Amino acid sequence: MSSTYGDEIRGKRMVFETEVHTCVSFYLLFHTFSHIQLRLGLTGSSNVQGEDVKKLDVLANDIFKNALVASGKCCFLVSEEDERVMVIEDPSFRGKYIVTFDPLDGSSNIDCGVSIGTIFGIFKVHDDHAPGSKDIIRSGRDLVAAGYCMYGSYVELIVSVGTGLHGFTLDPAIGEFILTHPSVPMMSFYLLCIFFPKLAHSTKQIRIPSRGKIYSINEGNYKYFDEPTKKYVDSVKTKYSARYVGSMVADVHRTVLYGEMIVFYTTVDVKTFLEHGLGQAVDNFHESLMIFICIFGYPADSKVILSTTFVDIVPYLFPRSKNGKLRILYEVFPMAYLVEQAGGRASTGKQDALDITPRHIHDRSGVWLGSADDVADLEAFYRA
């Protein structure tokens, strides 16, 4: 084959291969995109909350319900997306836990790729023999575990079983969640574990120091806030930065993590360490290295919204947020539990959020959570 002819064939093949590659990559791109597209957008129905339900809300709800039933550990499931409690009747799948969950939190952010997540709380039945509504409609102080998983620029599972917070990050390369959030900076953590192996067992907690520099609230509702909330927001906006994602999981995750030390080196106060032992030295870390901490709030407000029933012909007004927007059993309680486990506080402004007892499974409450001193400042406006 003459060189020119050969070059020509080679050239054509090059073009052909490029075209094939291009077509294949467009196909893959389109396929992926359409696959995502299938998951994005609205279902066209609304849920018991009066919200437009997203396709991913439904998908997430089905996935979690199937997994929780298959676990054989649960007797009742309470989901944001289901009007009623799901009772697990089959004795071979029935367990002694109640799981309250928000399968997909921050749904309004799905289609624009902003962080969303899943929130869950776990209660144990009072009495194995006769579980009933008293096992579901109860104080947040009865929680035995809670957690959230945030799907953002990385996937992070934050969970507590009552012994502080533990943070696990998904390593997509191996498909496993790795413990990544001890409460001291990684470098110092490893260095210290060389000298003080016990440290590895005492700092698997994320701690929220007492005061911070960020406040997080939807100021678009300002005109609906009650006076104490307005006064508090006015008092912090001159000294703190504002951050608000609109996904509770993302806003709380920032609150919890920025409460953690984010300095990538530190020196252990050896004198304290030797005198007072490990715990004091670790506490000293927090005090000496506290940088950020946030307060996140979704207070009750007087905002009234039009809500249409699923047949869309009977719009009716109801005061959505006179009790706050966030749902007690599967948003407020789990996040309040986690923030308290991290050394922070969660309050309605008038009482600890965990001390509320909801009136029904989708009951709502206003809530402030984060740095203990910042939450105390907020509460002072309610007492004034």
Residue numbers at the binding site for ligand AHG (CB under 6 A): 51, 80, 102, 105-108, 218, 246-248, 251, 298, 325
Nearer to ligand AHG, 106 or 212 (CB): 106
Interacting residues with Mn ion (CB under 5 A): 51, 80, 102, 104-105
Q: Which does 218 bind (CB under 5 to 8 A by kind): ligand AHG, Mn ion, none?
A: ligand AHG
Nearer to ligand AHG, 164 or 246 (CB): 246
CB 381 → ligand AHG: shortest distance, Å? 21
Q: Which does 273 bind (CB under 5 to 8 A by kind): Mn ion, ligand AHG, none?
A: none
Q: Which residue is nearest to Mn ion (CB)?
A: 105
Nearer to Mn ion, 76 or 101 (CB): 101
Residue partners of 107: CB distance under 8 A and separation at least 6? 51, 53, 54, 56, 57, 116
Nearer to ligand AHG, 133 or 302 (CB): 302
CA atoms within a 13 Å half-sphere pointing along the CA-CB vector of 8: 4
The three-state DSSP-derived secondary structure of 84-139 is CCEECCCCCCCCCEEEEEEEEECHHHHHHCCCEEEEEEEEECCCCCCCCHHHCCCC
Residue whose tokens read 């996140």: 296
The stretches of the chain forming alpha helices (DSSP H) are 3-39, 55-71, 186-195, 199-202, 227-236, 248-258, 270-289, 333-341, 372-383
Beta partners for residue 306, in sequence order: 317
Nearest of 308, 357, 313, 347 to residue 50 by alpha carbon: 308
CB 92 → Mn ion: shortest distance, Å? 30
CB 220 → Mn ion: shortest distance, Å? 17
CB 307 → Mn ion: shortest distance, Å? 13
Nearer to ligand AHG, 216 or 341 (CB): 216
CB 335 → Mn ion: shortest distance, Å? 10
Q: Which does 298 bind (CB under 5 to 8 A by kind): ligand AHG, Mn ion, none?
A: ligand AHG
Q: Which does 246 bind (CB under 5 to 8 A by kind): Mn ion, ligand AHG, none?
A: ligand AHG
Q: Under the phi-then-psi rule, with left for phi > 0, alpha for psi from -120 to 50, and beta for the rest, what region is 363?
A: beta
Q: Which does 142 bind (CB under 5 to 8 A by kind): Mn ion, ligand AHG, none?
A: none
CB 114 → ligand AHG: shortest distance, Å? 11
